[in-house]
A and B are shown apart, each in its own frame.
Chain A
Amino acid sequence: MVNTRTPTGAPRNALALLGSLTGAALVGALYSRSQPTVAHSPTKTPVPDFAKANLAARRLNRAAGTLALSVLFDSALEHYRGQFRNRAMYTPLVTAAMALGVSAHGTMDQRQMPHVVRDTVYVLTAIAGLAGTGFHLFNVRRKAGGVSWQNLFYGAPVGAPMAIGLSGLLGYLSERVRETPSGQTPMVWGLPAGRVVGIASGLGMAGTTGEAGLLHFRGGFHDPFMYLPVTMPPVTALVLGRTALGPAGTERRATRWWLRATAILGLSGSAFHAIGVGRDMGGWRNWEQNILNGPPIPAPPAFTGLALAGLAALSLLENHPDD
């Protein structure tokens, strides 16, 4: 028997809950305005705060970990489908698992200094992401039709490895924030860390939107909810970008709410996808087929990871005005 009906029972309740949370976050975003925190202080002297910098770093670890978690399960599924024909297909599993581990460690680590293992793992992870992109591109180009919709839809997803790359990048940035001596504005590559993190997660958000857009286009946008992840995150990315390039030291409540809403969107995406799997032929009983052919359950939280990174960027910017 198939469950081809609309969501019922527990999934529906879960959805309703997530939906209303998203809604609340959106409403919050709409009705709040940016409030300058230090606008009244005429000299804009930085008020470096050790605890806050550490908090931002840990938030970045959390973001990196969320992304790694999403990648770990997503690549496990996809590469299982691909039967691990190539040894290299284990790479994202290993790196994502390691990134997840060190991110958990980092999230709990209250010390204000980088950790050599974490640092190394994150750098390796970032490199693995780049290499993976190369592999996937090569795979697509090699297939009949080359770079065609068919291969973009069903070949190795070109954008996917970037997610693990981003996880590595965010972790790397977290370590740079940690190594900032107390009282200074965290800097990366000569730029204020808050801005770098903001731009990186904004770009990541845009890329992930592209990936979701491609796959939802493949699904013919058959469900109106499928438009959400291609409309909301781009706005988030823009808002975040504007914030990252704009004046620092201001409180950005709207941005913060958008980011929170996007984080929830990522989680509810998984719930939607789980319902989608249940709607496929044979429903969850036919999970062996449907978790592979149905919508990918672990993919949407990539948005959550990036939104969390955006939130970290926000607190860095707010706490370390650099101009």
Chain B
Amino acid sequence: MTERNRYPGYDVMAKRHSLSWNDATRKVMDARLGVPREPRFLRQMEWDTLVAICERIIPQPQNRPPIPLAAYIDQKLQNDARNGFRNAALPPQREAWKKGLAAFEAEACLRYEHSFHNLKERQQDELLHRAETGQSDASVWSGMDASLFFSEHVMSDIIAAYYAHPTSWNEIGFGGPAGPRGYVRMQNGRRDPWEPVEAGPGDETRVRRENQRVR
């Protein structure tokens, strides 16, 4: 997948040693970047399904190392870190994820006679859409509301993991951590030297140079 890079050359991690980061930030970001890449909570089969789902929920470009989304979900489940509320129609999150992953796998086998992670992207999307719109095969979901699971867990957990990662901040031009140093220029169109520049069509090279100076 090739796509226009709106903030060429911008790397929020280059600010790591600047005043935009404090020790607490460095500590949590180090932990985030060092997330174990192997499943600890999920079993291999569940993990494979999860990896495939993550790739469809947030398809990532080929020209950079991907954000290990499945690893963050596994970590969340391993720590049983919760959001503070649960739709009464869903089981607790660990159980919900295990049930949900099993259901996707079962439905893949049922419909396409293949494991979910071996399906074509189009087929995977199809199954995800069915879950999202509540058209999944109720029998394989063993009583769990597929569309609720899709919105409350598949979407929210995976997408939250993606946008908590610095690589995604480069993509959207987010200034990233800011403290003790904050921002000065508040008006529209104004930029502090430690914020990225957006490239218009054609001025990639100049902008890349400027963004490499963002510290």
Mark A residues whose CB is within 8 Å of B.
2, 81-83, 85, 154, 281-282, 285-286, 288-289, 292-293
Contact = CB atoms under 8 A, between A and B. Distances in A.
B190 A83 contact: yes
A292 B186 CA distance: 12
Closest 6 CB pairs of A and B: A282-B180, A292-B184, A281-B180, A286-B19, A286-B181, A289-B181
19 contacts: A2-B180, A81-B185, A83-B190, A85-B189, A154-B186, A281-B179, A281-B181, A281-B182, A286-B180, A286-B181, A288-B181, A288-B193, A288-B194, A289-B19, A289-B181, A289-B182, A289-B183, A289-B184, A293-B184
B191 interface: yes
A154 to B, nearest CB: 8
A289 B182 CA distance: 7
Contacts of B185: 81, 83
Contacts of B194: 288
Contacts of A85: 189
Contacts, number: 31
Interface size class of B (residues with CB under 8 A): 10 to 19
The residue among B179, B181, B191, B193 with the most chain A CB atoms within 10 A of its own CB is B181
Nearest to A283: B180
Contacts of A282: 19, 180-181
A288 B191 CA distance: 13
A289 B18 CA distance: 12
Interface in B146-195: 179-186, 189-191, 193-194
A81 B184 contact: yes
Given A83-B185, A83-B191, A289-B183, 5 more contacts: A81-B185, A282-B19, A282-B181, A292-B184, A293-B184
Contacts of A281: 179-182
B184 A285 contact: no
B130 to A, nearest CB: 48
Contacts of A292: 184
Nearest to B19: A286
